[in-house]
Each structure stands twice: as C-alpha cells, then as structure tokens.
Amino acid sequence: MSKLNILIAGGGLGGLCLAQGLKKAGIDCEVYEKDPAVLQAGYRLHMNGDGGNALQACLPDHLYELYRQTSRTNPRRELAVMIDSQGVEKAVRPHIGPPNDEVLPHTAVNRRTLRQILLSGIEDRVHFGVEALRFEQDRQGVRLYLSDGSLAEGDLLVGADGINSAVRRGLMPEVEPADTGMRMVYAKSPLTPEIAASLPQVLFDGFIGATDATGTFAGIGAFVPRRPIREAAAELAPGSVIDPVEPYMMIALSRGFGPLPLSDSELRGASGERLHEMMLSLTEGWAPALRGLFERIEVPSIFPQSVRVLKPLGPWKASRVTLLGDAIHAMPPTFGAGANLALKDGAELAARLVRVEAGELPLLEAAAGYEEAMRRYAYPILEMSVNPSFKTDFSQGPGGRAV
C-alpha cells in the first residue's frame, strides 16, 4: 500500500499526466474533474520535447507508443512559418522546447485523443462530474470539499483545475487572471487527400501563421496522424476509449492583441454561422488556397475564446497544496507551449513525489523544489508570450529569421 495519497483537482492534460506518473510508481491518487466526461476542448495541439519527454516519463510504454503513432506525420520542416495573405513566406523561427527526436519527433496531437490516452488505465482513479470547491490543510494532511457533498483527504492537493482554479483561489486569493485583449475563433477545416493535394506545401510545415495588412492573423496547423487512430488504439490499447479522428486543418483566427469586429457579448452569443461569416469577411481577398480553408470550415466546429493570463509570481511558501498548468502559468498560445509545460509540470512533480514515497525527501521540500523548478522553466516563456514586442511577423521572435 502506498504511503502517500495525492488529491488532484482537474482532469486535464497536466493532472492526468501526473496521475499516470504516480500510478506508474505505485502511488495512490484520485482525480476530480468537474466535466462529465472527456469533452472536446480545442483541436490540434503542438507538441515539443517538454511535453513529449513528460509523456515518456509518466506513461506506460504501450500508451507512449500510442501517443507517438497518433501524433501528426512528420512535417516537411519542423518550424513555425509566417506567410502573408497571399501565401508568400516572410519569416521562420524554431519552435520553443528542447531538442527533438530525429526519427519520430514530437509534432502535434489531437487534444481529445491525447486526453483519452492519458485517461487509459486510470479510469478508476478519475471521478468525472465532481468539482473541487475548497480545501483545508494542517500538519496532518489536506481535506478537499467536493461538489457532490463528499470530502476527500490526502497528503497533498494538486490544483490542476485551469485558469479559473478554485484551488488557486483558496491558496492565493489575491491572484486573478488578466485579460490580454486577444480574442480568438477556433475551427476545423476538412483535409481529404484531394484537398491536401491542392494546397501549397508550406501549409504542411510545423505551424503556419498567416497575416495581412489589416492585422488579421490566422494560425493554421495540419493534423494528419501517422497511423489511423482507430487502428493504432485497437492494437495498443484495446480496452480504452479512443475516438477515431479524420485529418483536418485547425484554424485559429484573431487580430493579434486587438479586438475582433464582434464585441465580447456578441462573440459569446453568436451562432456558428455568424462566426463563420465574420471569418470569411476578415479573410476576403486572401489567396484562393488559404481562402478555401475558411470556406470549407465545418461550422459546428467553430468556437470563440477570450485569452487571459496569469502574471508570474514571486516565490511563495510551500505547503500541502500546489498548482500546475494553467492554474499557475496560463499563457496565450503564442509559442504553443502552455500544454507542453502543463505536462512537464506533471512529470516534474511526479518525479519528486516518487522520492517522497521512497523516504528520500520530505513532502514539503518536494513541493518547494517542484515550484522553484516550475517558476524557472515556465515563467520566462509566460513573460515572452504576453510581450507585445514579440510580434506576429516573427521578426523579434526567438531565433527568428526574416526572409
């Protein structure tokens, strides 16, 4: 029987990665997720060495292999590429993150697929439809009050419950998310073999940013899995629920940190058809290949998002409650790093808790060491992501090269 019992509020990528790492080490944990199931929350997710290495550390071998086989095919160039509205390449920059594998690099995944992989094998530890409300802690442990009226007790509570974290509010009531002013509209556009053959090759590089003279910006990313997801899941995780996914292009449209033509209330209340009309209006006059992506958008896939951040904090006193992912370093998608850092958080914390379980490290020292490491690797990227000087033309981006 495990010496430790870890409570995890939030069943997103970081929380599930942590739970997988703990299970791998034989450490008891329970995950409480307010949503009733693994919902569709976003589409294509850029992966780098931070996230990929965390998955390798925490997942059993067969699930890590499933992640690799269901990742997108190797791009022609593993770079972020800026083009103009006519498809002319303007600048490139390397992706953020440590060196990548040369044969099967970490590329991109379908977000829902990755969450389903992370849920595999720990279904009995994840309680859906149960929200963390508040906690109490003392020298003996931590008590977590839940929305179903129950009480969970453990040695450490991990707030992995996102930017609106109830755990963070209890731990740091003075910390509130800040609005960046960025408004984004996400959507999927189909990518059949016929459509793919008609598109310029630059659209199949790592990740594409297209912009025009009005300030309209479209992030465009292909998702074509290395192997059909249903086939890979049937072989590697036959007892798991892994939904099939057809290839697609993800589109994320914004005006940088400026407002969209619709107000916030209009964005929230707009139908998919109205949001689609806005996207078409903003990209009128774009090159036919780019314009076609917008024309073919699957209207039910469209959803708007207001981008908020948490500003970096100075060191705080470690306790029996800690935070990971968006609950402590929510950031704009500028560098595609947020989810990767949440996974890294999960692996970093799991590694320290393994040492606590083995009697090599006191619990509070482990929490303090994790938090210090997290601030060191996450906060510089957070600060860059909200710095307006890192413009969408990549001319001031890290490693940027104008062409």
Contact call for residues 204 and 73 (beta carbons, < 8 A): no
Res 392: pLDDT: 41
| CA distances to 72, 269, 347, 357, 403 from 53, in Å | 17, 40, 9, 22, 32
Contact call for residues 271 and 232 (beta carbons, < 8 A): no
Res 231: pLDDT: 97
Q: Give dist(CA 38, CA 113) in Å, integer.
A: 9
Res 391: pLDDT: 45
Largest CA distance in the chain: 65
Q: Give dist(CA 389, CA 387) in Å, integer.
A: 5
Q: Give dist(CA 147, CA 127) in Å, integer.
A: 11
* Helix, strand and coil in the chain, % to nearest 5: 35, 25, 40
Res 11: pLDDT: 97
Q: Give dist(CA 31, CA 15) in Å, integer.
A: 8
Please give the full DSSP string across 132-182, using - where no structure is assigned.
Answer: EEEEEE-SS-EEEEETTS-EEEESEEEE-S-TT-HHHHHH-TT---EEEEE
What are 216's two structure tokens? 């309209």
DSSP state of 337: -
Phi, psi of 137 (to 5 degrees): -140, 155
What are 164's two structure tokens? 């609106």
pTM of the model as a whole: 0.95
| 13-39 residue pLDDT tens | 999 999 999 999 999 999 999 999 998
Provide the strand spans (E) within 224-353: 248-254, 303-309, 321-323
Nearest to 171 by CA among 218, 215, 135: 135
Identify the helix (H) or strand (E) that includes residue 186: strand 178-190
Q: Which amino acid makes up residue 50?
A: D
Res 388: pLDDT: 54
Please list the alpha-helical segments (H only) found in 36-165: 49-58, 61-69, 111-119
Strand partners, 153: 143
Q: Give dist(CA 86, CA 65) in Å, integer.
A: 39
Q: Give dist(CA 361, CA 4) in Å, integer.
A: 12
Identify the helix (H) or strand (E) that includes residue 209: strand 207-211
Nearest to 349 by CA among 1, 105, 16, 3: 16
Rg (CA), the chain: 21
Length of the chain: 403
Res 49: pLDDT: 95
Domains of the chain: 5-402 (3.50.50.60)
Nearest to 270 by CA among 278, 280, 281: 278
Stretches where the chain sits below pLDDT 70 are: 388-403
